[in-house]
Amino acid sequence: MADRTVIALGGNAISPAGTAGTAAEQTDNIWRTMRQVAALVEHGLTELILTHGNGPQVGNVLIKNELAKHVVPPVPLDWCVAQTQATIGFTIASTLSHELAVRGVTQPVVPVVSRVLVAADDPGFTAPSKPIGPYLTDADEVAEREAEGQHFARQGERGWRRVVASPEPLVSVDRAAVELLLDDGAIVVANGGGGIPVVTDGDGPLRGIEAVIDKDLAGARLAEELSAVSFVILTDVPAVAVGYGTSDQRWLGAVTVDELRGLQRDGHFSVGSMGPKVEAVCRFVERTGGRAAIASLDDAVAAAEGTAGTQVRVGR
């Protein structure tokens, strides 16, 4: 398994709905997954890039911003992305390094502070769509927050979540650093939380902009840029489902990218949950001819080996 692989961990998988989301809980969830990642490395998957989501985490930082705004100045959303990227990145590095050491593997794990270029005029800035933070179930509280200028979207029966701008990832700014680390034998954590969104004004320096890039789309972009042969998204469900949550629910196993696109066009995957993941794996397979998968966090090994979750290829 010496093929270059990008594995994306979902922010909701790190901090599942229904849990308190404490640092200890999130560390335990990351640690459980890193045991599987370490097993993959032990079996020969040495060219590995990890990325992760941060939806629940960045939403929690924004809440702290709001609660403390009369004491300390709040920081912009791109700073919140950077903070959660660093926190999750160092936790991944610490837990994975330990699990590798237990197995006698000395391969270093390096988190990279990662920026991703977006267009300043991306339509995502005028139509917030990326859900972040906890679910709210009180319609009056949602109305109060919307009156303060926040945006919310209903997320099925679980309630409402705040939504923010989510522009398209154009270029992984720090790809060269990732390449250098990979060439030197490191496992790299990059484009965490979709990457810190930056824009350019022409000849001036890159500057951060308030948004949260979808981590799956940014992961697919990075996998394409790095010429990865496989892209694996690990989340809190075992696979992609058609008719999710209904009596007709059906889990998808091996599918072609054309079949998955057809189901997407038929409206089976919602924007707030599985939609971006399906779009990300389709883009990767279409643009590279490689293999992609969407699977449960607990099935990391089998998903990377091609035997669990929804496995997406060009053809059968």
Catalytic residue among 191, 194, 277, 309: 277
**Planar angle of CA 274, 276, 282, nearest 5 degrees:** 100
**Average model confidence (pLDDT) for the chain?**
91
Catalytic residue among 10, 11, 89, 133: 11
Residue 242 lies inside a defined structural domain of this protein: no
pLDDT score of 227 more than 80:
yes
Residue 69: active-site member? no
pLDDT score of 71 more than 50:
yes
**Percent of the chain's residues with pLDDT above 70:** 98
**Percent of the chain's residues with pLDDT above 90:** 62
| Stretch (H or E) spanning 259 | helix 257-265
Residue 92 lies inside a defined structural domain of this protein: yes
Catalytic residue among 10, 29, 130, 193: 130
Residue 254 lies inside a defined structural domain of this protein: no
Helix axes of 215-225 and 175-183: crossing angle, nearest 10 degrees: 60
Look at the chain and count its residues.
Answer: 316
| Calpha distance 205→252 (Å, rounded) | 45
Q: Which of 89, 116, 84 is nearest to 196 (CA)?
A: 116
In the chain, the number of structural domains is 1
Residue 280 lies inside a defined structural domain of this protein: no
Kindly give, in sequence order, each residue whose CB lies less than 8 Å from that of residue 60, ignoring residues fewer than 6 positions away: 21, 133, 134
Kindly give, in sequence order, each residue whose CB lies less than 8 Å from that of residue 248, ignoring residues fewer than 6 positions away: 242
Answer yes or no: are the C-beta atoms of 277 and 12 closer than 8 Å.
no
Number of C-beta neighbours around residue 145 at 10 A: 16
**pLDDT single digits (tens) 12-65:** 778 776 777 899 999 998 998 899 899 989 988 889 999 998 888 888 898 898
Q: What pLDDT, on a 0 to 100 scale, did the predictor assign at position 46? A: 80
Residue 64: active-site member? no
Residue 219: active-site member? no
Residue 297 lies inside a defined structural domain of this protein: no
Over the Cα atoms of the chain, what is R_g?
19
pLDDT band at 1 (very low <50, low <70, confident <90, very high): very low
Kindly give, in sequence order, each residue whose CB lies less than 8 Å from that of residue 11, ignoring residues fewer than 6 positions away: 52, 53, 54, 55, 56, 57, 58, 193, 215
Residue 11: active-site member? yes
Q: Which of 4, 5, 2, 44 is nearest to 233 (CA)?
A: 5
Catalytic residue among 10, 133, 215, 219: 215
Residue 197 lies inside a defined structural domain of this protein: yes
Residue 54: active-site member? no
C-alpha dist (Å) from residue 148 to 15, 62, 166: 27, 14, 20
Q: What pLDDT, on a 0 to 100 scale, did the predictor assign at position 272? A: 65
Residue 278 lies inside a defined structural domain of this protein: no
Q: Which of 140, 138, 136, 137 is nearest to 162 (CA)?
A: 136
Domain that holds residue 113: 5-228
CATH number at residue 101: 3.40.1160.10
| Calpha distance 35→310 (Å, rounded) | 22
Read off the pLDDT of each residue in 71-100 and give the average, rounded to a whole number. Answer: 94
Residue 277 lies inside a defined structural domain of this protein: no
